[in-house]
């Protein structure tokens, strides 16, 4: 069980250590990873399961600069379909404006009909060059 009662959704990029970024010891958080740290149907299901089974009460969404999946959607779809022909690529998987991507994913979580009222959701962009974790609040520009 995550001792701090929170879940982190982030990118599968090996440069990211989400518990270190948040300053908590290993085992403190339920960590979910996917390409780009995007909110998908599957990650929403996993977050809800994390709440129901593991007791998480705070969810952290962390996307980052210099992400390897920051290809145009068409290019990403071409790469995936040529590598694994049976893969159905959800659109959009890539993103050109991290602030908008995080804000859109936060909105997707908040609009989910089964989002528990007591769960608090936070969104961040991790700047890998400056080692900064910057909070994204919908409707506001990211400030460095």
CA angle 63, 48, 105 (to 5 degrees): 30
List the strands of the sheet with 29-34, edge to edge: 29-34, 6-11, 58-64, 120-127, 132-136
- Asked whether residue 113 carries a pLDDT value surpassing 90, the answer given is yes
pLDDT score recorded for residue 96: 62
Q: What is the pLDDT of residues 2-60, one digit of tens each?
A: 788 999 999 999 888 998 888 888 888 999 999 889 999 999 999 999 999 999 999 99
Percentage of the chain exceeding pLDDT 70:
75
Question: In this model, does residue 82 exceed pLDDT 70?
Answer: no
* Residue 22 CB coordination number (10 Å): 17
**Residue 110 CB burial class (10 angstroms; 0-12, 13-18, ≥19):** exposed
Residues 72-81: tens digit of each pLDDT = 556 656 665 6
- pTM of the predicted structure, to 2 decimals: 0.80
| Per-residue confidence (pLDDT) for residue 80, from 0 to 100 | 59
């Amino acid at each position: 069980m995550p001792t701090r009662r929170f879940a982190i959704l982030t990118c599968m990029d090996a440069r990211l250590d989400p518990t270190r970024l948040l300053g908590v010891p290993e085992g403190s958080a339920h960590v979910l990873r996917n390409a780009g740290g995007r909110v998908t149907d599957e990650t929403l299901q996993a977050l809800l399961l994390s709440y129901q089974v593991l007791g998480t009460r705070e969810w952290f969404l962390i996307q980052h600069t210099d992400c390897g999946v920051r290809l145009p959607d068409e290019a990403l779809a071409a790469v995936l379909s040529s590598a694994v022909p049976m893969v159905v690529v959800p659109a959009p998987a890539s993103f050109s404006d991290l602030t908008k991507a995080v804000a859109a994913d936060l909105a997707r979580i908040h609009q989910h009909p089964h989002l528990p009222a007591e769960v608090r959701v936070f969104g961040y962009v991790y700047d890998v060059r400056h080692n900064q974790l910057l909070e994204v609040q919908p409707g506001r520009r990211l400030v460095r």
